[in-house]
Chain A
Amino acid sequence: MIIEITITGGIALALGIGLVYASKKFKVKENPKVREVYKVLPGINCGGCGFGGCNDFAAAVVKDHGLVHGCVVGKEETAEKIGKILGIKVSEAEPKIARVRCQGGKNCSDRFDYQGVKRCNAVHTLMDRKECEYGCIGFGDCAESCKFDALHMGKDGYPIVDPEKCVGCGKCVEACPKELIKLQDDRKLVHIACISKDNGKETREKCKRGCIACGVCVKNCPVHTIQIIDNHAVIDADKCINCGTCVRNCPTKAIIMIKKVKNVKKDNKTIND
């Protein structure tokens, strides 16, 4: 009797002590700022920011200051409060916005007449519907995932972002199986709407708006911020000055300049939609 109790009790005690020690040693240190930010949030866990709840948003905004405008309920007031806690100027925070890196859709030919489930993820799992394997499939999984009504499938079969409504939550980025959507700094207006790794001739055959890696943009860029990587142009957003030279020179119109809505500057020009 005594032996059984001793053995079981002894093992239990040893394990218990071991666990207490482990939990202290491997403790995940929560940034105290997360707690502070959480206190200034509305606390209703509506999920409007695109995150699971106010706690998740607090954790995310401490990591990525660009999300400071993310609370749809609290709006500017909350953004100011969060800015004070994090020590950043709210107007200087780099708000992120979704950029769709493809203008395929109807501009890119189909390989066959697809009759299956009309979801991008389904098509991506099973086959390549479009000639261009890197391009937009066009069934709108991304538009469906957007809770802010900021992403819609355009008339040409690829998604268009509404810059006024997009808060940069990133749900569309996750939804796209081709990883076409990327979050970028809102104030950088130029982006390359093609990530096709096919060479110029192939791209030209497959899609009217694809980047053929001709290099005209590279040659004409005044700040030398464009490069050709993997058969398509890539802009280093940090150095880009939004002059639009590359946009004007691109033969296939693969480079786009976005209309700026937040923090409007006076010499803002729209070249393409």
Chain B
Amino acid sequence: MENLFIIILSAIFVNNFVLTRFLGLCPFFGVSKKTWPAVSMGLAVTFVMTLASFVTWIVYQYFLVPFNVEFLKIIVFILVIASFVQFVEIIIKRYSEKLYKSLGIYLPLITTNCAVLGVAFLNVDMSYSFIAAIVHGLSAGIGFLLALLLMSGIRERLEYCDVPKSLKGLPVSFIVAFMLALSFTAFNGLLS
């Protein structure tokens, strides 16, 4: 039984999905202009990642491994994740119009978000047990949320700063992200 505590710390800080593994950059830059959509996106991704870990683990162990077709995981995982994101979108549209409007295009974009597929693949690579896989998915989502929260806080204030015209918008955000990623390397010695 793997140490769950280590998995949690690792996924949130040491191997933060956005700032260390550089996965899921599209929604990271796309939704981080304001804090409210950023937090909603982070929560949506956390939910999807946890659910995806849950479902892909079951599908892998009971549909792919017994038939020796593990290589199919690439297609099957994408299928499963895409369907569940669509399902989440239907639910959000039904229960919160405001949230649906503020997420806009980025919700279906979670489908192609390599962070979600990344979690699923990592669970397989690390041979995590069922509980470990779910915990990993949850922590990865929390790490993503954390990165988004930090980024949106900075970008909101960046609005009122004197940024050179050629760097306004996305370019300066990349520079900010670089600094954030650099600061997160400080966590490298956390779990040695």
Contact = CB atoms under 8 A, between A and B. Distances in A.
Interface string A32-62: 0000000000000000000000000000000
B72 A7 contact: yes
Contacts, number: 51
A70 B11 CA distance: 51
Interface in B59-82: 59, 63-64, 67, 69, 72, 75-76, 79-80
B79 A8 contact: yes
Q: Summarize A's interface: helix, strand, loop or mixed.
A: helix
B110 to A, nearest CB: 16
Contact of B83 (A4, A7, A19): A19
Interface string A7-24: 110011001101100110
A15 B79 contact: yes
Interface in B28-64: 59, 63-64
B179 to A, nearest CB: 20
Contacts of A116: 160
Nearest to A12: B79
A214 B149 CA distance: 44
Contact of B160 (A19, A26, A125): A125
Interface stretch (B15-23, B86-94, B112-120, B163-171): B86-94
A56 to B, nearest CB: 10
Contacts of B63: 7, 11
A206 B168 CA distance: 39
A116 B79 CA distance: 51
B76 A8 contact: yes
Given A8-B72, A11-B59, A22-B87, 20 more contacts: A3-B69, A4-B72, A7-B63, A7-B64, A7-B67, A7-B69, A7-B72, A8-B76, A8-B79, A11-B63, A16-B83, A18-B83, A18-B87, A19-B87, A22-B90, A22-B91, A23-B90, A122-B159, A122-B160, A126-B157
Interface of B: 59, 63-64, 67, 69, 72, 75-76, 79-80, 83, 86-87, 90-91, 93-94, 156-157, 159-160
